[in-house]
């Protein structure tokens, strides 16, 4: 894939040590960008930095450690990113997962909602002034077509899924949250020169849905379809497009599939829900201070 020149750009990619995030990093570093990946494990992060630098022939690659399951860790990681990056041209909120059983993070939030939505929400908020100062700049959120499973929208009465937890259902709702967050962020950023878009990467053969995270039926189903999936490099294409293409420099608040804008579900186009999610998320991250 042809990628626009990114030589003067700095890109931050969460979950850049694996799958779609790793290949997004290789492609953007290959186009000349300085790339900062986040990882939650030091060894996996170091190995990815070496791999990205070697395959892209660009040694301006580094790593910041943080775990999206701890908002204190996200705050520390954001500080680290701000210290080392005088400019941030693109933030790719890529990290995410699906969990078959309900667990809670150190902040006492349901883990899928916290890792897939609240952590990226807080990270974006903490990096926003630097993104604005670097404008024109971009936020790219990796959502999923799985958002369509949350047909009735987010259940604001039970965002922590305390009743009737189902891994696929909760994952779908977290990906709906990614789209709602994107559209409300784009609305709030109007006139700042910072765009926000989101995407479905396709069905991609990655570590996503590994046995330890999704026991039983989901893990088995994912193994069955693996031969028909996109490679991680193919799955990274829409992220890379939104992060780099001049075609979308002025496009904001949209959902993309195969590098083309597409209408997400009706629930994902609910502007009231998007605004409400933003406000609730602000309250939740604020309430987490001093907990984790």
The residues that are catalytic are: 171
Which one, 148 or 192, has the nearer CB to ligand NAP? 148
Q: What is the DSSP string of the chain?
A: ------TT-EEEETTTTSHHHHHHHHHHHHTT-EEEEEESSHHHHHHHHHHHHHHHT---EEEEE--TT-HHHHHHHHHHHHHH-S--SEEEE------SS--B-TTSSBHHHIIIIIHHHHHHHHHHHHHHHT-SEEEEEE--GGGGG-TT---TT-TT--SS--HHHHHHHHHHHHHHHHHHHHHHTTTTTEEEEEEE--SB-SSTT-TTTS-THHHHHHHHHGGGSBPHHHHTHHHHHHHH-GGGTT--S-EEETTEE----TGGG-HHHHHHHHHHHHHHHHHTTTT-
Residue 15 lies near ligand NAP (rule: CB under 6 A): yes
Q: How far is the CB of 222 from ligand NAP (least distance, A)?
A: 8
Which range in 28-36, 37-45, 148-156, 187-195 contacts ligand NAP by CB under 6 A? Answer: 37-45
Which range in 54-62, 83-91, 201-209, 246-254 contacts ligand NAP by CB under 6 A? Answer: 201-209
By CB under 6 A, the residues from 161 to 200 that bind ligand NAP are 200
Contacting ligand NAP (CB under 6 A), which of 19, 30, 253, 264?
Answer: 19
Number of residues in contact with ligand NAP, rule: CB under 6 A? 26
Q: How far is the CB of 75 from ligand NAP (least distance, A)?
A: 13
Q: How far is the CB of 8 from ligand NAP (least distance, A)?
A: 26
Which residues are at the interface with ligand NAP (CB under 6 A)?
Answer: 15, 17-21, 40-41, 44, 67-69, 94-97, 115, 142, 144, 200-201, 203-204, 206-208
């Amino acid at each position: 894939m042809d990628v626009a020149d990114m030589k003067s750009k700095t890109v931050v990619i969460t979950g850049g040590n694996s799958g779609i995030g790793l290949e997004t990093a290789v492609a953007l570093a290959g186009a000349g960008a300085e790339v900062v990946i986040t990882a939650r494990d030091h060894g996996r992060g170091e190995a990815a930095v070496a791999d990205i630098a070697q395959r892209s022939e660009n040694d301006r690659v580094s790593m910041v450690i943080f775990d999206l399951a701890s908002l204190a860790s996200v705050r520390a990681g954001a500080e680290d990113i701000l210290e080392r990056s005088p400019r941030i041209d693109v933030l790719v909120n890529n990290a995410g997962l699906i969990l078959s059983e309900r667990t809670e993070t150190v902040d006492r939030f349901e883990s899928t909602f916290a890792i897939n939505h609240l952590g990226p929400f807080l990270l974006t908020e903490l990096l926003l002034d630097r993104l604005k100062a670097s404008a024109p700049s971009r936020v790219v959120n990796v959502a999923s077509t799985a958002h369509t499973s949350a047909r009735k929208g987010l259940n604001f009465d039970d965002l922590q899924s305390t009743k009737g937890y189902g891994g696929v259902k909760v994952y779908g709702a977290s990906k709906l949250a990614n789209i709602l967050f994107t559209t409300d962020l784009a609305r709030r950023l109007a006139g700042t020169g910072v765009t926000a878009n989101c995407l479905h990467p396709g069905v991609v053969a990655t570590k996503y849905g590994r046995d330890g995270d999704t026991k039983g039926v989901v893990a088995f189903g994912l193994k069955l379809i693996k031969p028909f999936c996109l490679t991680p490099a193919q799955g990274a294409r829409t992220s890379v497009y939104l992060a780099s293409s001049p075609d979308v420099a002025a496009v904001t608040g949209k959902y993309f599939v195969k590098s083309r804008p597409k209408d997400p579900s009706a629930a994902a186009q609910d502007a009231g829900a998007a605004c409400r999610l933003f406000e609730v998320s602000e309250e939740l991250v604020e309430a987490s201070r001093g907990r984790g």
